[in-house]
Structures are given as C-alpha cells and as structure tokens.
C-alpha cells in the first residue's frame, strides 16, 4: 500500500501539514527537534489509532490546543482502490472515520493502513527486559489476529483473579481460574510459537542481507512453560494445569503465578552469542532493523499487501556499508519513509527528499 497524502492539524509540533509522499523511498531530513519523529509517529497513529511512543493520546495534541486531527489517503495496489482514514481527538474523545463514514468499530479501521515501524526506542526489544519482548509479541500478534487480543485480555483477567485468590490462599476456588488460565494461555503460546516459526527464517535472511556477514541471527521463542514444536493445544493445556497445581504452594507464598505466557521471553542470538548481554550497539540495532524488516515481509505474506515501512533515525550507529544495505532494503518496498538528521548519509540514493523545519515539511 502507498500513502498518497497526509494531513495533520495540531498534531505535536505541526499546526497544519499537507504532505504528498512519493512512491518508493522518502527521506525526511533536518536538525534535531524539528518534527521528523513526530511525522512517523502520526502515520503509526493512523495505522492503529494509538501511538507506539506514548501511553496517553493527549500527549500528541499540540500544546495549548483542545483538538487534533489526522487524515490520510491510502492507495491499495492489490485492489486498485483508495481509502480515506480520518482520526480526530476532541478532549478525551477519539472519533474515527473511514471514507467519510463514522465508525465505532476498531476492527474495520485496523488493517487499512498497515505500518511496520522502527523507532530508536525499539532497541529495548533486544536490550531491555523480557516485558519489552512480550509487548512486541502482543502488539504484533494483536494487529495480525483479532482473536489473539481477545485471548490475551481473557488470560490477563484470569491471571489477576488467580493471583488475588492465591494471596488469600483460597485453594478450593482456584479450579475455575486455573482452567481459564490454561485454556487462554495455551492459545497464546501456540500463536506465539507459530509466529516465531514463520518469522525466524525471514529474520535470518533479512539480517544476512543487512549485515553482509554469514553469522546468522536467530530469534527463538522461550516460553516459560516448556512447549515442544509438536505439542498440541490440548496436551499443552494439560501440562499447564499440572504445573499450576504442582506450583500451588510456591505461588501462594508469593501471591503470584510463576509460570505462563506472562513470563515468556524471546532469545536473540548472533551465532552463539547472546545479543542482549554481549551485542554491540550497532549489532543490536542491526538485529532490530532485521527484525522489523522481516516483520514487514511477514505482514506482506499474511495479508497479501506490502506495509508502509517507517524507519526513524535508523542510519545512525551503522557503518557506511550497512547503511547502504539498509537503504537498499528500504527501497525494495512500494513505499518507505526514513528520517535522518544528516542528509548526506543518503547522498546518491534514489529517493524523494523532504526538508523538515520546525513543523513544516518541504520537498527538497
Ligand atoms: N504535544 C506537542 N505539542 C507541541 N510540540 C510538541 C509536542 N510534543 C512534542 N513537541 C515538540 O516536537 C519536537 C520534537 O519533534 P521530534 O521528536 O519529531 O524531533 P526530531 O526531528 O525527530 O528530532 P531528533 O533529530 O532529535 O530526533 C520538540 O521540539 C518538542 O518540543
Ligand atoms: Mg527524532
């Protein structure tokens, strides 16, 4: 898919913006603090109605303003159709319109604009604690499968109930919540396992193309409840239930459930090296870029449409040859947008250049 047009009103430092991005690679350059990241954030908001960079919607409304509007026209190459998405924030209320008709159902909105974004903040997926990696799984799988989000919500509810009862040492009433935890928990595990199985080869190939080395990058699912490739949901459920019963004393002592998808992790390894502990900054960055581009290929495969690729400040910390490889990868998408404080990092690259200056964007 291709974004033909983007309008912003009172979004972050943009009072008003009317932008026509090109097909292929778009490079936004300009000094620190002028609004490059804000621009990519706006496109991410249009994709999911939420910002990957902040919890509270209120933060994107321009200071001293009560309302904020974002609008885009998206062209779908597969169906040769265009869709208009419009999102406004007025006070605490968010309104969504698809092709000028008001929609209250988020499902009809999601998927119109598919975005895969890299923000420097995403480095925490490899370098941060396991919660960051679970968030990655939850966000990406919820975007791809509505049932995943439902399973996750139900699982969390059951977990809260179980932990509350554990604190009161109410063993007899645990049965119902154990059953729910096992049911929804195993559905999550199976979906995560399948996702990683599909993603891992794409990550390895993309990373090889980016790094130009043959030291393979592997990403593997590290579930807190051991789970073999061949385990069926029902076998897993039984295993989970047994573990919950076996752990009762220990769980009750601390009032928490020690095993389950809320304790899952992912392992990133470069060859034999644990990338989180020993990877250099450039290696970790390249791994995350490999992960995101692989994710974009995965979205392409599962939905039949190429997502818009957003790369925020991705070139810094990379050496010249890796920068070239990354730019080549970005160019292979129908549309990609990249920001850089240094225009010269993209010298000689076939792209459309835009200069960003204090909330204004101009084609250069
Ligand atoms: N809600 C808001 N209202 C108005 N301005 C805001 C709001 N939120 C952030 N800003 C301003 O936006 C600017 C930051 O923009 P952004 O993060 O896009 O910069 P950038 O061009 O990506 O810079 P860098 O090169 O340092 O990454 C800051 O000057 C900040 O004060
Ligand atoms: Mg920035």
Centre of ligand 2 to C-alpha 171, Å, is: 51
The token duo for 308 is 């818009």
Protein residue closest via CA to atom 28 of ligand 1: 33
Q: What percent of the chain lies above the pLDDT cut of 90?
A: 88
Confidence of residue 232 (pLDDT cuts 50, 70, 90): confident
| Residues lining ligand 1, Cβ inside 6 A | 12-13, 30, 32-38, 59-63, 313, 341
pLDDT at 168: 86
228 CB-near residues (< 8 Å, 6+ apart): none
pLDDT at 18: 98
Q: Is the pLDDT at 227 greater than 90, yes or no?
A: no
CA end-to-end span of the chain: 24
Q: How far apart are CA 89 and CA 160, in angstroms?
A: 32
Domains of the chain by residue range: 1-114+305-364, 123-304
More confident position, 170 or 156: 156
Domain over 1-114+305-364 is classified CATH 3.40.50.2000 = no
Confidence of residue 228 (pLDDT cuts 50, 70, 90): confident
Centre of ligand 2 to C-alpha 271, Å, is: 32
Closest by Cα among 66, 110, 65 to 92: 66
Radius of gyration of the CA atoms of the chain, in A: 22
Q: What is the pTM of this model?
A: 0.95
What average pLDDT does the segment 217-225 reach?
Answer: 96
Ligand having the closest approach to the CA of 33: 1
Q: Do 1-114+305-364 and 123-304 come out as alike in CATH topology? A: no
CATH number for 123-304 (one of 1.20.5.440, 3.40.50.300, 1.10.760.10, 1.20.1050.90): it is: 1.20.1050.90
Confidence of residue 80 (pLDDT cuts 50, 70, 90): very high
pLDDT at 119: 98
168 three-state secondary structure? coil
What average pLDDT does the segment 185-209 reach?
Answer: 97
pLDDT at 250: 92
Torsion of the alpha carbons at 150, 153, 154 and 159, rounded to the nearest 10:
160
CA of 264: how far to CAs of 194, 213, 221, in Å?
14, 30, 8
Closest by Cα among 113, 137, 123, 94 to 47: 113
* Element spanning 118, H or E: strand 115-118
């Amino acid at each position: 898919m291709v974004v033909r047009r983007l309008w912003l009103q009172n979004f972050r430092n943009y009072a008003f913006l009317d932008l026509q991005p090109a097909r292929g690679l778009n490079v936004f350059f300009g000094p620190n603090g002028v609004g490059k990241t804000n621009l990519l954030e706006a496109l991410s908001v249009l994709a999911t109605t939420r910002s990957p960079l902040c919890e509270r919607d209120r933060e994107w409304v321009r200071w001293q303003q009560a309302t904020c509007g974002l609008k885009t026209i998206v062209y779908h190459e597969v169906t040769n159709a265009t869709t208009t998405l419009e999102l406004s924030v007025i006070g605490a209320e968010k309104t969504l319109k698809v092709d000028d008709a008001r929609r209250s159902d988020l499902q009809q909105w999601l998927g119109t604009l598919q975005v895969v974004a890299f923000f420097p903040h995403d480095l925490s997926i490899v370098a941060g604690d396991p919660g960051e990696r679970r968030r990655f799984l939850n966000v990406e799988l919820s975007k791809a499968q509505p049932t995943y989000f439902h399973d996750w919500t139900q699982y969390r509810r059951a977990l809260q109930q179980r932990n509350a009862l554990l604190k009161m040492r109410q063993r007899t009433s645990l049965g119902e919540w154990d059953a729910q935890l096992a049911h929804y928990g195993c559905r999550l595990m199976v979906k995560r396992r399948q996702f990683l199985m599909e993603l891992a080869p794409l990550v390895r190939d993309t990373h090889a193309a980016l790094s130009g080395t043959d030291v393979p990058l592997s990403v593997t699912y590290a579930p807190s409840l051991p789970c073999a490739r061949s385990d069926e949901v029902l076998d897993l459920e039984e295993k989970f239930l047994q573990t919950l019963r076996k752990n009762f004393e220990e769980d009750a002592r601390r009032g928490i459930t020690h095993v389950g998808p809320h304790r899952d992790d992912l392992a990133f390894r470069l060859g034999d090296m644990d990338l989180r502990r020993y990877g250099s900054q450039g290696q970790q960055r390249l791994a995350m870029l490999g992960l995101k581009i692989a994710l974009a290929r995965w979205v392409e495969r599962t939905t039949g449409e190429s997502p818009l690729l957003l790369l925020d400040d991705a070139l810094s910390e990379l050496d010249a040859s890796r920068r070239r490889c990354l730019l080549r990868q970005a160019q292979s998408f129908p549309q990609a947008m990249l920001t850089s404080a240094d225009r010269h990092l993209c010298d000689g690259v076939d792209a459309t250049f835009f200069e960003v200056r204090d909330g204004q964007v101009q084609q250069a």
